[in-house]
Amino acid sequence: MGQSTENKLSALQQQVEKLQQQVAGISQRLSEVEQLNIDLRKALDFGKPVTTAQGANGVTYKILNIEGNKAERTISVTIQLSTTEEKVDMSFSFGEPTFVDLYGNRQKADAYSIGGETVCPVYKGTPVNGLLVFKDVDPEKAKELKMIEIHGQNNFQEERVFLRDLKVDWK
């Protein structure tokens, strides 16, 4: 009987040592994952939202609303355009607007307009809203947008503006 108790004790000690080694390995892996998470957050540098951008000819692009529709899997972005010039003819016709989510997925807009038109005049002191619609969006991956890139044209001058670190209001 004493022999079997000693054998049982020895077997238990071996099991405890194996478990301690496993815990040490898991602890080390957890530390590595935590450091990787910190590094990724720094790399993404998701900071203060940039909701306004200045274009050419005194044109200002300002995000008013970013709303996601979970049922339809769409994101609608309302952008207000204003100018300090007397009149600027605006369009998004040279290159489709795009967004990049936090996972690095880039997606082109399926529909876009300014004042409900392809080309719309914007007058000094009279802002006009534009709309960008993105379809087939994954609501889990597009909770936050790292960047929206808009290719605009005003008075035949092509420009690109970037709006960054934007949260989507999913409903």
Distance CA 31, CA 107 (A): 34
Closest CA relative to residue 114, chosen from 85, 79, 142, 88: 79
Q: Which of 39-43, 54-58, 74-78, 85-89 has the highest mean pLDDT?
A: 74-78
Distance CA 13, CA 28 (A): 23
User: Taking 60 as the threshold, does the pLDDT of residue 1 lie above it?
Assistant: no
- Reported confidence tier of residue 93, pLDDT bands at 50, 70, 90: low
- Reported confidence tier of residue 58, pLDDT bands at 50, 70, 90: confident
The pTM for the full model equals 0.71
Closest CA relative to residue 62, chosen from 166, 158, 144, 136: 166
Closest CA relative to residue 155, chosen from 81, 60, 88: 88
| 119 contacts 128 by C-beta, under 8 angstroms | no
Fold of 52-170: Immunoglobulin-like (2.60.40)
Closest CA relative to residue 102, chosen from 144, 39, 148, 40: 144
User: Taking 90 as the threshold, does the pLDDT of residue 163 lie above it?
Assistant: yes
pLDDT of residue 15: 93
Classified as helix, coil or strand, 100 is: strand
